[in-house]
A and B are shown apart, each in its own frame.
Chain A
Amino acid sequence: MSILTETPIDLVPGPSSDRSEGQLLEVSMGPQHPSTHGVFRMDVTLDGEKVVKLKPVFGYLHRNHEKIAETESYLGCMPYTDRLDYICSITNNWAYALAVEKLAGIQVPERAEYLRIITGELTRLQNHAGLVGFLMQDMGASGTPLMYAFREREKVLDLFEALTGARMMCNYMRFGGCRVDVPANWLQQAQKVIDGFPQFLDEFENLLTSNEILMARTQGVGVVTREQAINAGISGPMARASGVNYDLRKVDKYGIYDRFSFRVPLGEHGDVYDRYMLRALEMRESIEILKQAMRDLPAGPIMDPNTKIRGFRPKAGEAYGRIEGPKGELGFYLISDGTASPYRYRVRPPSLINLTLLEDMCLGQNVADIVIILGSVDIVLGEVDR
């Protein structure tokens, strides 16, 4: 039972409860279930098809990430961050790099900042597109929206591969800059992808946004109120869908985000439809940012020349670096004791924290709603379990 639900349903069928315990059905959704987005389990208690209790169970994908980091070098942690949220490795790199840069007081060259924003926003695009596709898949749309989303995502991944050498595990950021500069023609390719994206979004929204079935399925389902969202520490598009005006790109203005003009869409109802629409709208805003960044990209070095790759030993201290990841506030907290490995390394994963309200969102809904609610939270189990 979640703390945040005000009036808990009496789940213990005692003599006073007139609820017939014979009707309740306990179903274990997951860890092997097509729509748990990985190895995630929900112990669901159903009354007919209505959820009266939901217990999320995770940890199936636990990899000791934070502990391993304490034995790795600072650089060695970087590829591991790729594997947190394996859909958007670049933003993970960025957050980690930001934390280390804060810890060691490193300046990032201008061009590298621009590159970071370009790759980061591309990541956001492909993450959101994929998410909406998956959400529709959970809704039973036979894969069509997912395939469209993947078609576009593929173009972005091609860009990533051309830039970083890998499609998903990019391992692109370095403390004080980026690992490589853009190859020839890359910028033109990227421009093409960015210019083509709005058209895809139009198609996508044509297919989905006004669809009555989608609206019937999602509107009023899995509502998170503004207060709940704030109390539970929800961040990212999910919080904004509930009307919380909290976008780190605006709040922290990390990197050089203050140079770009973009808007932060806000939802009102905090239901699944809002979360879906928020992502669609954020994609359009990301395209705006990308256009500006591509236009303004300066020449220059991409690495702070003073940063050492090998034998990197920041002075003792602590730092918390955070960015607005596609899924929400992604933060890394580091304590250095002056050695080559972090003394303490801690991730604030948006997937996990956004997931804490799962039961509150699902209570009283249908089995079918659980799936789309879970889908709309946008989790990646690699980040939830770490």
Chain B
Amino acid sequence: MTPMSGYLLLSALLFSIGLAGALTRRNAILVLIGIELMLNAANLNFIAFWRYGPHPEALTGIMFAIFSISVAAAEAAVGLSIILAVYRHSKTTDLDQMNSMKG
């Protein structure tokens, strides 16, 4: 049986990948995707802790994951529309060029 540390390590790796992507990519969409990945890593943790925790019947981990997924969906929707709005203004999705607050 897989020990919990396996899931946690996977989650840590996922988190780091997401972080690396969010830090290194220039495209705003990809940064957003990186953040989504980090959220997913957290979700994996929730599920793993729920499964391995002492009270799986309480469903708290699952609930947390469900809420987190909904928040992620909302975040993606708003984030992507912001990117679209910014793109309409500055004609770029490149974060390196998106450094002005002016329209």
The yes or no answer to A7 lying at the interface (CB within 8 A) is no
The yes or no answer to B55 lying at the interface (CB within 8 A) is no
Alpha-carbon gap, A301 to B81, bound state (A): 79
CB distance from A48 to the nearest CB of B (A): 13
- Interface size of A as a range: under 10
Q: Output the nearest chain A residue to B92 by Cβ-Cβ distance.
A: A22
List which B80-94 residues lie within 8 A (CB) of chain A.
87-88, 91
The yes or no answer to A188 lying at the interface (CB within 8 A) is no
Alpha-carbon gap, A22 to B88, bound state (A): 9
Alpha-carbon gap, A44 to B23, bound state (A): 41
The yes or no answer to A20 lying at the interface (CB within 8 A) is yes
Q: Output the nearest chain B residue to A18 by Cβ-Cβ distance.
A: B88
List which B47-100 residues lie within 8 A (CB) of chain A.
87-88, 91
Q: Is the interface of B mostly helix, strand, loop or mixed?
A: helix
**In the complex, chain A residues whose CB is within 8 Å of the CB of B87:** 22
Alpha-carbon gap, A20 to B88, bound state (A): 7
- Interface size of B as a range: under 10
CB distance from A22 to the nearest CB of B (A): 6
Q: Output the nearest chain A residue to B89 by Cβ-Cβ distance.
A: A20
**In the complex, chain A residues whose CB is within 8 Å of the CB of B91:** 20, 22
CB distance from B86 to the nearest CB of A (A): 12
Q: Output the nearest chain B residue to A22 by Cβ-Cβ distance.
A: B91
Alpha-carbon gap, A20 to B103, bound state (A): 14
CB distance from B6 to the nearest CB of A (A): 46
Alpha-carbon gap, A22 to B91, bound state (A): 8
A10-29 CB mask vs B (1 if < 8 Å, else 0) is 00000000001010000000
CB distance from B92 to the nearest CB of A (A): 10
CB distance from B82 to the nearest CB of A (A): 16
**In the complex, chain B residues whose CB is within 8 Å of the CB of A20:** 88, 91
**In the complex, chain B residues whose CB is within 8 Å of the CB of A22:** 87, 91
CB distance from A157 to the nearest CB of B (A): 55
CB distance from B63 to the nearest CB of A (A): 40
CB distance from B81 to the nearest CB of A (A): 15
CB distance from B93 to the nearest CB of A (A): 11
A71-109 CB mask vs B (1 if < 8 Å, else 0) is 000000000000000000000000000000000000000
CB distance from B66 to the nearest CB of A (A): 35
Alpha-carbon gap, A22 to B87, bound state (A): 10
CB distance from A49 to the nearest CB of B (A): 17
**In the complex, chain A residues whose CB is within 8 Å of the CB of B88:** 20
Alpha-carbon gap, A122 to B91, bound state (A): 59
CB distance from A17 to the nearest CB of B (A): 13
- The 4 A-B residue pairs with the shortest CB-CB distance, nearest first, are A20-B88, A22-B91, A20-B91, A22-B87
Give B contacts to A, CB under 8 Å: 87-88, 91
Give A contacts to B, CB under 8 Å: 20, 22
4 A-B interface contacts by CB (under 8 A): A20-B88, A20-B91, A22-B87, A22-B91
